[in-house]
Structure 1
Amino acid sequence: MTGEGEDLELGYIGIGLMGEPMTMRLLKAGRSVAVWNRSREKLRGVVEAGAVEAKSASDLAGRCDIVMMCLTDTKAVEHVVFGENGIAGAVRPGSILVDFSSMDPDSTRRFAARLREEAGMGWIDAPVSGGVPGARDGTLAIMAGGEAGEIERVRPVIALMAQRFTHMGPSGAGQTTKLCNQIIVGCQLAAIAEAVRLAEEAGVDAKMLPEALKGGFADSIPLQLFAPRMAARAFEPPLGAIHTMLKDLDNAGEAARQAGAPLPMASTARELLRQMAARGQSEACATALIQLYDSVQR
């Protein structure tokens, strides 16, 4: 492993809403990228753009210095890393796994220790914030946990996909920071939906809220992204699924329980999302939260 970002062989596993635009940015930067996904049909766009399809997660890991991964949950991560034909089965000496997935910090720490012991591979937990637009535009904020030296070795590559890559501490610290992020975003989604409905019921043009509040204390990226979509009841293309936010807030609840930290606001947001999931909308864009407020009888 050379230590020079431009000389490293790169791989990406998990070509979904986030993985596809992140991989596209690497390809547009002139990097060669090996890719693998459990559902092959999702590889079509990145392969057509120049990515090389690997036969398995193990095959990809055997040819790459940096393996990047963005999967749905803890179970998927464990299977892809340690399961049959998984990453741990064939790694390059000194290689590093950068996990962009969001999951609970305890599992991350356990998996990282196991991967280093079984395969000698480093693990950086690096969950992302910024959604699909951030992945497409390279403006993601990535919060990382792991060893400082390994984080510096991958930094030039991460810079091709993100505007901020912050080392938050040892293994698991990135995931804990992402939970803090999701607490803030989840509560904002609920508050934005309430504000949109109040504006509509009071005869104010809710679509103008982002413009009117821009630059003030209420302004935020979620306000600018989600308020217009909520006002227009526009849920496509999705910016992030309800089940994903619900999973993160569930993990935040468990982390808070272990730490003895109160989460009254996040608990309320979590229950609203759970209501959406109970209505069969767990796959819907988080923007669809506004529909809960539409269903309230006046």
Structure 2
Amino acid sequence: MSNSIGFIGLGIMGGPMSVNLAAAGYDVAGYDVHRPALAQLTAAGGRACDRIADAVADADVVITMLPDSPQVEEVVLGEDGVLDNAKPGTLLIDMSTIRPETSRRVAALGSTRCLRVLDAPVSGGQQGAIDGTLSIMAGGEEKDFHAASGIFEVLGKTVVHVGPHGAGQTVKAANQLVVGGIYALVAEAIVLLEASGVDAGAGLEVLAGGLAGSRILELKRKSMVAREFQPGFRIDLHHKDMGIVLAAAREAEVALPVGALTAQLIGAARAQGDGGLDHSGLLRVVERLSGRG
């Protein structure tokens, strides 16, 4: 695999990911609609581009990290987008979190232009992107997954090929289902502990060391107790992701009762004006329901 990468979408996640690739020696050309986002990449030795075409025309690999399905469709499938400008044989790796059916459509249309396509959403949040310790769940052809292994090794710690096109997005939906549910339960635990006169910090420390332990308790218990909700992953985005979860459940014809309730709690947080907070801010909804907000 050559070292030429076009990277589109340099936000909270894409920015540090592109920087890590540049630091690893890849020739990274970046594009983002928000011009200030390019500064981080250029400071790391990457190149800023004014158009999608400039970022992808000479790239052997194109990575997209965008907010939702409409943005992926516009950037990849739209006029003067990736499909119109990438050379045949380019490997397109979409690392956004979008609907599985969108990933399958991108892969199908990409093949008509002789592009190889992977859907490879990530988990680990902003800190994981900065540290290069993301979990990466990839869907697509196994040979294309292996071709991308050097790039994935820079970006992530846990990298797994989970199945055909769209499978990566289904696994990511399951990830967001579990993460949202754990946040809701940790929030309820904090409210219960505090309302009972127990030190929530001490209580969660014990929980984190037992069977109830989780990555969320490890990383977020102190900030949640302190009500510090600086976004690493915004409630607005988790709300979008829960929509993907419920749509996937409908397509698979399965019932996700706890997931549906979690989606409603996250939707309530957004409706109450907390969409810009970290998803651990779900605590605020649980507090309000108990009259403690």
Q: 5+ residue gaps in structure 1?
A: none
What do you get for the CA RMSD once the two structures are aligned?
1.4
Counterpart residue identity of residue 17, structure 2: M
Structure 2 contact 132–157 (Cα < 8 Å) conserved:
yes
Counterpart residue identity of residue 241, structure 1: R
Shift of 1:22: 0.9
Of residues 157, 170, 185, the one that matches 2:164 is 170
What is the aligned partner in structure 2 of residue 48 from structure 1? 43
What is the aligned partner in structure 1 of residue 100 from structure 2? 105
What is the aligned partner in structure 2 of residue 64 from structure 1? 59
Structure 1 contact 126–145 (Cα < 8 Å) conserved:
yes
TM-score, normalising length: structure 2: 0.95
What is the aligned partner in structure 2 of residue 136 from structure 1? 130
Matched-pair identity in %: 37
Q: Once the two structures are superposed, what CA deviation does each residue of 1:93-121 show, in whole Å capped at 9, x if it has no partner? A: 3111111101111111012101221x211
| 1:13 correspondence with 2:8 | yes
Shift of 1:172: 0.4
Of residues 134, 153, 173, the one that matches 1:179 is 173
Q: 5+ residue gaps in structure 2?
A: none
What is the aligned partner in structure 2 of residue 230 from structure 1? 224
Between 1:158-167 and 1:208-217, the stretch displaced more is 208-217
Q: Once the two structures are superposed, what CA deviation does each residue of 1:166-204 show, in whole Å capped at 9, x if it has no partner? A: 111110000011111111111001001101111111222
Shift of 1:45: 1.6
| 1:288 correspondence with 2:281 | yes
| 1:271 correspondence with 2:264 | yes
Between 1:205-214 and 1:246-255, the stretch displaced more is 205-214
What is the aligned partner in structure 1 of residue 115 from structure 2? 121
| 1:253 correspondence with 2:246 | yes
Change (3 A) 1:205 1:28: farther
Count of equivalent residues: 291
Structure 1 contact 193–227 (Cα < 8 Å) conserved:
no
Between the aligned partners of 1:87 and 1:208, the Cα distance in structure 2 is 51
What is the aligned partner in structure 2 of residue 243 from structure 1? 236
Shift of 1:20: 1.1
Of residues 177, 187, 192, the one that matches 1:193 is 187
TM-score, normalising length: structure 1: 0.94
Shift of 1:50: 1.3
Q: Once the two structures are superposed, what CA deviation does each residue of 1:56-92 show, in whole Å capped at 9, x if it has no partner? A: 1122111111111110000000001122321111112
Structure 2 contact 5–56 (Cα < 8 Å) conserved:
no
Shift of 1:12: 1.1
Of residues 14, 30, 33, the one that matches 2:28 is 33
